[in-house]
Structure 1
Amino acid sequence: MIPETNAKTYKAVSVAIVGGGFGGVGAAIRLLKAGVKDLTVFERSGGVGGVWHANTYPGAACDVPSHLYSFSFAPGTEWSRRYAPQADIERYLNTLVDDFGVRPHLRCNTSVESAEFDAEVGAWHVRTSDGESRNFDLLIAACGQLSNPAIPELEGIDAFEGPTFHSANWDHDCDLTGKRIAVVGTGASAIQFVPEIAKQAGQLDIYQRSAPWIMHKFDREYPEWEKRLFRKVPARVGLSRRFFFSVFEILTYGFTNRHWVLKPMAKLSNAYRRKELGEYPKLLAKATPDYQIGCKRALFTNDWYPTLKRDNVELVHGQAPRVTATGLVDAEGVERPADVIIWGTGFQPLDFVAPMEIRGLEGRELSEVWNGRPEAYLGTTVAGFPNFFMMYGPNTNHGSGSVPYSNECQYNYILDAVERLCAGGYRYLDLEADALKRWRTEMAERSAETVWTQGGCNSWYVTDSGVNTNNWPGPWLEYKRRTQQIDVSDYRFVK
């Protein structure tokens, strides 16, 4: 159920939401329910879904159970599996867009190129890729942390003569049947698409810099009778949601300051690896991580190890390869021919709003203010950028949990801020610089104890200088409590 608000308070507010994924769709739903009439969701692609619209690679699926990877006010009942495939999630979000009246407010194939705050009128001047521009009272950036693909700058990369593409921009016209395929990367996307393309490939070489921690995935199909049960007995869905949330909430302590909580998880992963690869000692050695579990994202799959044992698959372990016109050269100087290169190398995690240019007070540009260290108070607001809110911003990711859950926490925080803004007749509210400084100190001190900074790995959670810019270093119930409403002392209200 969506919390009730005073719709009269919000009527005159205009809101621009950038991004049509979970964060943007949910924000639009909550704002419409609150009574906002002038609302536009700008989506650069041709449809809603965010990463679940963009990532259509074979085997794409969620690694969080479906009943938790959804909104509490709109629990899904039509999931085909416990861990929903990409098509299920995209369909779920499109259903929400239609059921909650978001579709008329949606502008697809339209990027926001820039947004500049005008302090005199208390509004954001938004310019879009179609050449239009207009003012909005509020700007919500729901671009996400994993929207811009990262391709490594390998030596010789421009010399390769065959097709190359990133998993997030899958080339469905490229026939992989019988081809010699090189996959670079063994992260969350690769462990899903590699088992699928291995069935087609003539030869598949997987280039791995460090082995991932693999957990058995307790996945299954939902038969039709069980879907009917979900529809008729909401408590069944609610019970599943609470169970998985409780498990993940316990694990948050293992990732942050009680690392011993993760020891059973590591034992299970080690046992699963030995069971699958014990008869292949060289492969077992390559597939064994050399860092603490949780330092990088732990991956859930039942297909990875069986794929590594296939006759047409080779796992190449070591530093980044060099690219030639016809293949890749590993760290030992061995060249393996390739017809196609597929990048399973993740995303640019610091691009929270890129390529959008956002200018706040005194014309300061957000990426320049951040200077390689993105930060936002509670992952949501930034000092000097009034009436600006972020969804899934800095320090709102985690090694355990569900992004839609943290999105809902942020909705409560944003709606409370907007209600106070409107009720008081203020032009804008702006985060106090001291509040952001205290937040930076808190994040640094709490991150120092986490497995992300102490686990012995390099990951997208942490910058090259060792700063945790992406993950929330605490339990999610604490985050929920702290985002129930704003602390007015943290903000400056201007009439």
Structure 2
Amino acid sequence: MSSYEPRHDELHVAIIGAGLAGIAAALELKKQLGFERFTIYEKEDSVGGVWRDNTYPGCGSDVPAHWYSLSSELNPDWPSYYVSQPEIRAYWERVYNKHALAAHTSFHTEVVRAEWDETRQLYHITLEDTRSKEQRIVDANVLWWAAGGFHAPFFPEDVPGVKDFKGDVWHSARWNHNVDLRGKSVGVIGNGCSGAQFIPRISEDPTVQVTNFVRSPQWFVPRPQFVYPAAVKSIFRHIPGIMRAYRAWIYWKSELSFLTFNDTDNFMHRAATKLLTEYIRMTAPEEYLDKLIPAFPPGCKRIIVDPDYLKSLHRPNVDLNWTPIDSVCEEGLKLTTGEVVPLDVIIFATGFSLLPSRLQISGRSGETLHEFFDSIGGPSAYLGLAVPHFPNFYMLLGPNTAGGHASVIFNEEVQIDHAIQLMRPVLRGKAAAFEVKESVFTRYNAWLQKRLVKSVWAHCRSYYRGRTEDGRNYAIFPGPVSLFWWLARKARFSDYEAIGAEKFERERRAKRWTRRIGAAVLALSVVLAYRSGWRLPMLVRMARSLTSFA
């Protein structure tokens, strides 16, 4: 499959990843800027990102489908309120094909290194063919990290010995569909969103004995699933505004949930805690209740939209084991008590690493992005998008952009719009680069962490905090997504160092003076009109003409 390759001295945008963020970014480059000289570099052989890689039984989104989609690509044909992995992947493939992005995509191509050239004001990018391991170098004026927030499957460091196991072992994000689980003893490590989705599915077969090894409990909410009738889909398709209004209703309902769970010291949170506790008591087996109800407040970890996990615990072939794991051994799992639980299959449902380990991006000083993050105590970015010392480098779903209650696609769209505003002068030859000011970066992250310390997310161990009790939270944005939109809706160029932007700055100054002159002329016209007794229609016509000029 062909892809766009830059020629010498030709402006070029490199996008890392053909997942949801990469597709959305490429789409807006074409739609907003009419820019076609970009390449999406994807290390796998197809698009879809996390929804390509995760194919475990029961895999799906816990965000309603009509909000877990692009605002510019609404889909009237979603079959149900929540949708499954195949349906989500099919949606993104349709968007990708609709906008002819295949001509801009290089598959089997991993970005392993990117180095900023201060003289030429661009990145030298080292690419590797994932099949032949051959490397080549391309240049890009803008580097867009669209690899998303979930990278390699995470395996807990305190569970050693995986290679010693004589049975089959895999991570939920790399499901082994070649293994028949019938008649087998299956150990599942982890009870987060993934484990909660596939345990009810694999345990439907009574010959599959499932033991879920759990470190800590989770909060659950009921899953209000329903199918959209054909008549409703027809209304969405043919009556303008209805589907967008429905999406807005889902949006505001989600925003209300943030107000409920963010602050632990309010009536709404206490009421929600009581309701969720009652839900667990009514749904789960009585023998597990003392350990299933968390001591930490709801919202501290991502709340699980219950896909019948609690009901599945009533099955005779499903057990919970709360004893800490010491290691993996030949026969199965050895617990800290010395007991060995014999197993045929071990499945890790333990989440993801939030940063790619191999990718090395070097900025103006030669320092890599990983080194910069280490120097400040962990991943941070301005609006989860821009990092000082790294010109023309933009992250999508970077540090502190996720919402525990919302669709990440919304925040990604906000970030894309912000980045497009910064790219426009560069791609039109009016500026060489933009780099967020260190003072702006520092002030923003100090404000952000101050809010997080006082929030619900400070009350427990979670992957939001690097899987520690006291680590810095580098995943969550501490506010409703409406606040994130407000902060990022317009790029303030005063927040960025403009490099080689003399033409751009002249145009900005000219526009400011034009607006000021137009406003002054309008004000003077109003005064003269008032004193001369001019009639309102004439004044309106004059105001319109002056406003159009300004």
- Decide: shared fold, TM above 0.5: yes
Which residue of structure 2 aligns with residue 43 of structure 1? 42
**Which has the higher Rg, Structure 1 or Structure 2?**
2
Q: Deviation digits for residues 4-52 of structure 1, max 9, x if unmatched? A: xxxxxxxx64111101121111110000111111111111122111101
Q: Report which stretch shifted further, 83-92 or 413-422.
A: 413-422
After superposition, residues 317-396 of structure 1 pair within 5 angstroms as 317-349=322-354, 351=355, 353-371=356-374, 373-396=378-401
For CA contacts below 8 A with separation 6 or more, give which structure has more relative contact order. Answer: 1
Q: Deviation digits for residues 211-251 of structure 1, max 9, x if unmatched? A: 11111100122333433332223433222211111121122
After superposition, residues 205-284 of structure 1 pair within 5 angstroms as 205-257=211-263, 259-260=265-266, 261-277=268-284, 280-284=285-289
Q: Indicate conservation of the 8 Å contact 2:262/2:299, yes or no.
A: no
Which residue of structure 1 aligns with residue 15 of structure 2? 17
CA-CA distance at 1:257 after TM superposition: 4.1
- 2:435 aligned with 1:430: yes
Which residue of structure 1 aligns with residue 89 of structure 2? 90
CA-CA distance at 1:202 after TM superposition: 2.9
Q: Indicate conservation of the 8 Å contact 1:157/1:323, yes or no.
A: yes
Q: Name the CA distance, whole Å, in 2 between partners of 1:86 and 1:410.
A: 25
After superposition, residues 166-181 of structure 1 pair within 5 angstroms as 166-181=171-186
CA-CA distance at 1:417 after TM superposition: 0.8
Q: Indicate conservation of the 8 Å contact 1:256/1:447, yes or no.
A: no
Q: Deviation digits for residues 435-487 of structure 1, max 9, x if unmatched? A: 1111221122111111111x2x2001113342111110112111111112222
Q: Indicate conservation of the 8 Å contact 2:202/2:208, yes or no.
A: no
Q: Indicate conservation of the 8 Å contact 1:251/1:262, yes or no.
A: no
Amino acid in structure 1 at the alignment position of 2:300:
C
Structure having the larger proportion of residues in helix: 2
Q: Name the CA distance, whole Å, in 2 between partners of 1:118 and 1:50.
A: 30
Which residue of structure 2 aligns with residue 6 of structure 1? none
After superposition, residues 26-175 of structure 1 pair within 5 angstroms as 26-33=24-31, 34-130=33-129, 131-153=135-157, 154-175=159-180
How many residues were matched structurally?
479
Instruction: Compute the RMSD of aligned alpha carbons.
Output: 1.8
Q: Indicate conservation of the 8 Å contact 2:153/2:351, yes or no.
A: yes
Amino acid in structure 1 at the alignment position of 2:399:
P
Q: Name the CA distance, whole Å, in 2 between partners of 1:253 and 1:355.
A: 38
CA-CA distance at 1:411 after TM superposition: 1.3
Amino acid in structure 1 at the alignment position of 2:372:
V
CA-CA distance at 1:333 after TM superposition: 3.5
Q: Indicate conservation of the 8 Å contact 2:326/2:334, yes or no.
A: yes
Which residue of structure 2 aligns with residue 299 of structure 1? 304
Question: Please, what TM-score do these two structures have when normalized by structure 1?
Answer: 0.93
Which residue of structure 2 aligns with residue 475 of structure 1? 480
Q: Indicate conservation of the 8 Å contact 1:253/1:259, yes or no.
A: no
Gaps of 5+ in 2: 1-9, 130-134, 501-550
Amino acid in structure 2 at the alignment position of 1:270:
T
- 2:317 aligned with 1:312: yes
Matched-pair identity in %? 32
CA-CA distance at 1:174 after TM superposition: 1.1
CA-CA distance at 1:168 after TM superposition: 0.4
Equivalent of 2:418 in 413, 420, 425: 413
Q: Name the CA distance, whole Å, in 2 between partners of 1:320 and 1:243.
A: 44
Q: Name the CA distance, whole Å, in 2 between partners of 1:109 and 1:229.
A: 41
Q: Report which stretch shifted further, 395-404 or 100-109.
A: 100-109
Q: Deviation digits for residues 333-383 of structure 1, max 9, x if unmatched? A: 43221000000000112x1x4421111112111101101600110000000
Amino acid in structure 2 at the alignment position of 1:276:
T
Equivalent of 1:445 in 446, 450, 461: 450
CA-CA distance at 1:418 after TM superposition: 1.1
CA-CA distance at 1:59 after TM superposition: 0.4
Query: SS at the partner of 1:189?
Result: helix
Query: SS at the partner of 2:325?
Result: coil
Question: Please, what TM-score do these two structures have when normalized by structure 2?
Answer: 0.84
Q: Deviation digits for residues 302-328 of structure 1, max 9, x if unmatched? A: 411121111011101143343221111
CA-CA distance at 1:94 after TM superposition: 0.7
Gaps of 5+ in 1: 1-11
Amino acid in structure 1 at the alignment position of 2:111:
V
Query: SS at the partner of 2:365?
Result: helix
Q: Name the CA distance, whole Å, in 2 between partners of 1:84 and 1:123.
A: 41
Q: Name the CA distance, whole Å, in 2 between partners of 1:172 and 1:39.
A: 36
